[in-house]
Amino acid sequence: MIDSVQSHPCAERLTLVEQVHGTTVADPYRWLEDPSAAEAWLRDQDELWLTYAASLSTRFAWKNRVRALSAVSSVSTPVRRGGRCFTLRREAGRHAVLFADETPLIDVRQLDPSGLTTLDGWQPSPDGSKVAFQLSRGGTEQSTLSVLDVDSGQLIDGPIDGCRYSPVAWLPDNRTFYYVRFRQVRRHTLGSSGDTTILADEASYGLELSAGRWLTICTPTDLWFQDLASDDPAPKHIPTTGTTIMSVGPDGRLYVVMAGRICVGDPSEPTVWHDYLQPEQPLTGLAILDDVVLVSTATEITVHDRLTGERRGAVDLPGHGSVGSLSADGNRAWYTYTDTVTPPTVHCYDPSTDRPAEARSLPTELHIIGKPGPTILYGYGGFGQELTPSYSAFALAWVEAGGSFVTADLPVGTRHDKQRVIDGFIAAAERLIADGWTTPDQLAICGESNGGLLTAAALTQRPELFAAAVCSAPLTDMVRYELSGLGERWTAEYGSVQDADDFRNLLAYSPYHRVVDGVKYPAVLLTAFGNDTRVDPLHARKMTAALQHATAGPRPVLLRFEADAGHTTGGINLAADLLAFLADQTGLDA
């Protein structure tokens, strides 16, 4: 095991301090925000990581096992347009390919044999003759939008740059669609040289076109609605609070999801609606069939009377797992199901043949697989996302080797409630220890992105609870998070330093600012990616330097950096390295 005090590279500490809303804030590693200034330091970190990784005798065994467990087939829920069925399929051990019926349409490995290109999204036209699709390269998530003719397989439009995960809403003419480019809603006609800008509000937009004429445009705080069959050329702003969905169903009614409840109304009067039903858990999907309405949450699908909203029962799921990708197809619905040992599979519900069952939901805040001993506690805790059981080669490999893997379903908390989420994660760790599942010498915590922030916050607030921590692509400097990556878009989640109250709250839990000299921190592995356009690697660099300087314990603080990967492209090698690190630090005999 590397001795942290003797082996950590030295990083210059600046005396830089600033006054923010009357509070003194130190930032000794501000210089590490500049990747060119950090080059020599980063080479030393690479050498330290590679030296440590070479000492892990089980590293390649982990890699082989994760690869084997990852070699599962999957298929997306079908999208039916104009008599064609579009699905994204992944055969065991291979990459995903988009199909129209049984014909492969988009195979990114044929487009780019290097494997660095990713299919970020696809939307077929109403008649199924065309597909708008988005590609990005090297994990950057900076997509270009193109259009493919399904019959010929030829590109007929694009590429249009600046379309990061853009929603696409096709019009019934199958030649025109709405999309989002550089945070502007635009209208594009195939073959045209110029697009019409519909909205330019510097926000993250969602788009939906329902019943061929009703356009919905939404942001986290605003909503616009337009009848494209009318003479009014501009979308109408709708005053709402917390609205996430507004669309017209096949029954001609306007459906509105607002503040956790579902309302209905007349699309000709989009500001007037009345209560229809209120799900017992946060809603994730809505499907309006000929006879019934289906409402999905993270762990169940309930069945309701189409006219009254009265609950009839629930779809009988294969187990206590997670539901996703609910879609309607006439009087049938398709959805995906997964649990810890079941890869995502597609299922069909037909109300004419399937009798609704009693609803069943997960009974506990912690979802545990394995046996007492070396334990990984995994959490996320942000952006309204629940963590429910889903297939993970990473988790299964760990459990097969004799450990336990625990997913914490944390309370939702934004802005000033973030500490409540961190407290919930720490309480989960304390419970695992109190219940005899593990000990502080065997407990590791792990999280990615916002989960990396959660993990970093927990290890700085209660370092004595953990043997090890993995912070993958984390946010760590919450005083300056708005200045890089997608930080400026996340103020609804975290708050803004420009606001004095938000600033004090952010500083209170900001992991980088909570690092204290002389503390025995657990072993920490931070990961960062050079093409990460969501969370800038500067967060991992600054946190690594701060922990390496401060820790008084024998455990290492390491940085694993991949220059040519992005926020979501770590893959099997990353999973194997994390497992080898965690096994080494928690004593799992793999």
Give the active site residues.
Answer: 449, 567
**Which is nearest to 549 in space by CA: 3, 113, 9, 186?**
9
Region of 4 (left: φ > 0; alpha: ψ -120 to 50; beta: rest) is alpha
Contact predicate 312/305, CB 8 Å? yes
The whole-angstrom separation of Cα 16 and Cα 29 is 9
Which residue intervals of 266-308 are DSSP H helices? none
For residues 34-52, b (16+ Cβ closer than 10 Å) or e, as one string? Answer: eeeebeebbeebeebbeeb
Q: Identify the H or E element spanning 40.
A: helix 39-54
**Which 3 state secondary structure label does DSSP give 45?**
helix
Under the phi-then-psi rule, with left for phi > 0, alpha for psi from -120 to 50, and beta for the rest, what region is 174? left
Q: Cα Rg for the chain, rounded, in angstroms?
A: 25
Within 13 Å and on the Cβ side, how many CA atoms surround 365?
14
Element (H, E) at 399: helix 393-400
d(CA 282, CA 120): 26
- Which SS3 state, helix, strand or coil, does residue 495 take? coil
**Would strands 184-189 and 176-181 be described as parallel, antiparallel, or unpaired?**
antiparallel
Per residue in 435-468, is it b (16+ CB within 10 Å) or e — as a string? Answer: eebbbeebbbbbbbbbbbbbbbbbbbbbbebbbb
Distance, CA of 65 to CA of 75 (rounded, Å): 23
For residues 555 and 237, give the distance between their C-alpha atoms in angstroms, rounded to a whole number.
Answer: 56
Q: What is the DSSP string of 464-494?
A: GG-SEEEEES----TTSGGGSTTGGG-HHHH
Q: Which residues of 54-73 are buried (b: 16+ CB within 10 A; e: fewer)?
A: eebebbebbbebbbebbebe
CA distance 436 to 405: 14
Pairing of strands 273-277, 285-288: unpaired
Going by the DSSP 8-state scheme, the letter that residue 174 receives in this structure is S
Q: Is 84 within 8 Å of 150 (Cβ atoms)?
A: yes
DSSP letter at 232 equals -
Instruction: List, in order, residues 6 or more apart from 7 with CB less than 8 Å away.
Output: 48, 556
Buried b (16+ CB within 10 A) or exposed e, 132-158: bbbbbbbbbbbbbbbbbebeeeeeebb
Q: Distance from CA of residue 464 to its chain's centroid?
A: 29
Measured CA to CA, the distance from residue 324 to residue 340 in angstroms comes to 14
> In 238-387, where do the E strands start and end?
243-248, 254-258, 261-265, 273-277, 285-288, 292-296, 301-305, 311-314, 322-329, 332-339, 342-349, 366-370, 375-378
